[in-house]
Structure 1
Amino acid sequence: MKNILFLVTLIVSPFFAHFLSITSVYADAIYDPATVVVGATHGLCIEDASCINRLHPSIPMTHRVKPGQTILFHTRDAVDVLGTIAAQRGDTEESEVLRASILDKSRFYDMDSNFAHPMAGPVYIEGAEPGDVLKVTIISIDPGEYGYTFGSGGFIRDLMEGQFLAIWRLNKEFAVSDDIPGVRIPNASFPGIVSTLPGPDQLQTILHREQQLADAGGQVMLPVSNKATPSAICGPDGSASNECLRTVPPREHGGNMDIRYLQSGSSVYLPCFIEGCGLTIGDLHYAQGDGEVSGTAIEMSADILISTELLSNGPDLAYGPHYEGVSRFLDIPSERFYAVTGIPVKKEGDVPPHMDYLDSRVLGLLGNVSNDITIAARNALDGMINYIVATYGYNRNQALVIASVAVDLRIT
């Protein structure tokens, strides 16, 4: 299970007229007709030069695009067992074998988690420099034909018995499964992973705090070179085999955020830590509840079309990415929403007030706390207060009042 990402969503309510001005940040985008295609249509991720499953600043960027250009990412499911959607829909012998294999559940139980998560990219955004903010707008998502969800994992896995897997058949409107009879799940497709590459400084900070957490017995996935791609950088003989980050937790650069509100029409703001940013997308989900409580959503392969905008004076992303979209994603009485994110990290030496009673020396030393909702929530809330202060000119106390009456806390 990934580290918990806590989301704070600012509800822009009609009765609070001052906040209606937030809608002005949305303008109709003009997209370059020359769409750049990223990712192969057949084969495995490890055979595709435009597919990676680790994160490191030295990973070469396979495509260059201008801000505003549309980019089509051919993405694969979380462990690359479903193939690409082109392979699922093809009339070749390869496609026939693939479709038959998807119904063989033993393949899913035997899968190697070191393959997680295949991501298309990374893409070099022309003109992007460290310190810039990259706005990624999701235009459309074409879901694959199949999906899967495990029913024996997540944060109550100790309360579950036996293995269970649901295989879903997908179309544009809904998903159905013989394993969950009588249920139809509406299409609410979104990318689980949207990320830029970490810079050298961010990489060392992350490696340090995650090693600390592992040494303390916390839940964390340290670098593993087995099945890592690109192999020249992250594989067993790679130049950075012991430094390539796993993709399971969300971090400051984005990553496995699993924000189900990042559907077509929404935008996410990501930090650029290196020249060109290194945009990568993967782990597409057909549908997911808040929390992804079993550890998996309806995992699928998909094609996703996006555009980018480069901001030299964008929002403060110190606590993590921000995102925004139309209110129908949240079922709120507003036209649009704006949200910030938080993850369970803190300054070394700090002990949050709610943990003082533990009198824990180890906790004080850690910079990363495993699966801690409260720390993630504190970070997200502080980020939202900073956003309200910077955007609307209120002081922090006023911003906290606004947050208390017009902000939602949500878990992904």
Structure 2
Amino acid sequence: MPETVFEVDVDEDPEDQPDPIVNRWHPDTPPAATIKPGEKVRIECLDWTGGQVNNDDSANDIRDMELSPNHHLSGPFEVKGAEPGDMLVVDILDLGPFPDHEWGFTGIFDLENGGGFLTDHFPEARKTIWELDGVMTHSRHIDDVRFPGCAHPGIIGTAPSHELLEAWNEREQALIDRGPDAQTGVNHETGDDEPPLALPPEPENVLLGDMDDDKLEDAAKEAARTIPPRENAGNCDIKNLGRGSRVYLPVFVEGANFITGDLHFSQGDGEITFCGAIEMAGYIDLKVDIIKNGVEKMGTDHAMFKPGYQDPDFSDYLVFEGYSVDEDGTQHYKNGNVGMRRACLDAIDYLTNFGYTREQGYFLLSTVPIESRLAGVVDLPNTCVTVSVPNEAFDINIDPDTLADDSVVTDRSDVAKPS
């Protein structure tokens, strides 16, 4: 087993961990450990909420979650000899839940606390708990579903330079300024309440490892949230970034100072419920190397990866199509986001034919390794998006031809709700 260079304790608060947790991007965060090129290491990780979710049948913890400390991540890790302009090469060797913590969770966040991709259709907090059995998973909250997970880190990335951090904050603040009023959240034109278009630095609940207190106050005012993906990769939530994958990360600071965490046992393309993967605490084994001057050699200053060989071998899919026309019939111009919404909503409604609630359908699209594609982007005015649901993930047959049979089961379990 590789040497463990970062330890966590799932029974302790994030502030009381054996190694200090980070939850922001900042170039001055002190490294938690140094890794030599070619070395294999094990990194332990809390779940992304820092242990705020319980293995029970109430969604109170999702409804009442404190979001500003998230994500709770492990690192940063200095890679000896890495310099700006290099490319960090990270091989994902293995990952999984802790042996005494073999469960995960998925949440629908309340409209007033986080929301999600389809929050206007699912405005109330809900939760599912998943049992993790080797490579397989099932849930007491969703009957007749059992499938192999597509385990991967939701977040892996390198620290930004001061210049890149400043560029992030400037461009995202400009986007915020173009959206709803920053103080009231009200759309200037319609008067409707709307979420912000981006999240500015939030100095409350900042964790930057072992940074000295005299530096932490100023750093917290500019440290970037870990919510979106950026040039350093970060929160990409790519389900195919699993065992056997090789990740190429541009280096922006001495030592690279890469961070990882937000481990997922499984996820569908898009992670559409926001807390949408099967989130878990666990470990990840990595091998790290360096390509000197790799950014120039490869001609890119963004991350790249080669997928591994551990994805589920599904072959029997039911494919739903969505176009750039929203639910009220408004035509949008080549809007893939609208197309994705329509395909997901159709898939959710379809699954109700087999006794699943719409909330269960929403959870399934977010956790089963569904395949989503931009199928067509050239034809005016619509972009075509497909969402492919594998029949093999179900213990029942969800083929459309079965709906001619009146014996389809319609009495099923339900997801966890707030008490």
TM-score category of the 2 structures, normalised to the smaller one? 0.5 to 0.7
**Deviation sequence 1:243-286 (CA, Å, 0-9, x none):** 01100000001110111111111111101100000011110001
Structure 1's unaligned 5+ residue stretches are 1-32, 84-98, 334-354, 359-370, 375-403
Amino-acid identity (%): 32
Q: Distance in 2 between matches of 1:123 and 1:199?
A: 15
The answer (yes or no) to whether the contact 1:39–1:51 under 8 Å persists in 2 is no
SS of equivalent residue, structure 1 residue 297? strand
**Deviation sequence 1:81-106 (CA, Å, 0-9, x none):** 269xxxxxxxxxxxxxxx7x655532
Structure 2's unaligned 5+ residue stretches are 110-114, 180-195, 316-331, 341-377, 379-384, 388-419
2:135 pairs with 1:177: no
SS of equivalent residue, structure 2 residue 168? helix
Match 2:105 to one of 144, 148, 153: 148
**Deviation sequence 1:181-222 (CA, Å, 0-9, x none):** 221131221000001100111011101001111111151111
2:15 pairs with 1:35: no
Deviation at 1:70, TM superposition (A): 1.1
Tell me what 1:77 maps to.
47
Q: Distance in 2 between matches of 1:317 and 1:206?
A: 21
Mean Cα deviation higher: 171-180 or 37-46: 37-46
SS of equivalent residue, structure 1 residue 306? strand
Mean Cα deviation higher: 170-179 or 208-217: 170-179
Letter aligned with residue 302 of structure 1: G
Taking structure 2 as the reference length, the TM-score comes to: 0.64
Does the C-alpha gap of structure 1 residues 373 and 252 become closer, same or farther in structure 2, counting only changes over 3 Å?
Answer: farther
Tell me what 2:75 maps to.
121
Does the C-alpha gap of structure 1 residues 161 and 225 become closer, same or farther in structure 2, counting only changes over 3 Å?
Answer: closer
Tell me what 1:245 maps to.
224
Report 1:136-285 matches (<5 A): 136-144=90-98, 145-151=102-108, 153-217=115-179, 219-230=197-208, 232=211, 238-285=217-264
Using CA pairs under 8 Å that are at least 6 residues apart, name the structure with larger relative contact order, 1 or 2: 1
Mean Cα deviation higher: 107-116 or 241-250: 107-116
2:13 pairs with 1:44: yes
Q: Distance in 2 between matches of 1:373 and 1:252?
A: 26
Whichever structure has more helix as a proportion of its residues is 1
Tell me what 2:265 maps to.
286
Deviation at 1:36, TM superposition (A): 4.2
Aligned residues: 296
Tell me what 1:59 maps to.
29
SS of equivalent residue, structure 1 residue 80? coil
Deviation at 1:121, TM superposition (A): 0.6
Tell me what 2:371 maps to.
none
Q: Distance in 2 between matches of 1:307 and 1:244?
A: 28
2:287 pairs with 1:307: yes
Does the C-alpha gap of structure 1 residues 197 and 81 become closer, same or farther in structure 2, counting only changes over 3 Å?
Answer: same
Deviation at 1:109, TM superposition (A): 2.0
Tell me what 1:106 maps to.
60
Tell me what 1:6 maps to.
none
The answer (yes or no) to whether the contact 2:199–2:225 under 8 Å persists in 1 is yes
Does the C-alpha gap of structure 1 residues 60 and 237 become closer, same or farther in structure 2, counting only changes over 3 Å?
Answer: closer
SS of equivalent residue, structure 1 residue 213? helix
Tell me what 1:351 maps to.
none
Does the C-alpha gap of structure 1 residues 157 and 233 become closer, same or farther in structure 2, counting only changes over 3 Å?
Answer: farther
Runs of 4+ in 1 over 4 A off after TM superposition: 101-104, 231-237, 330-333, 371-374
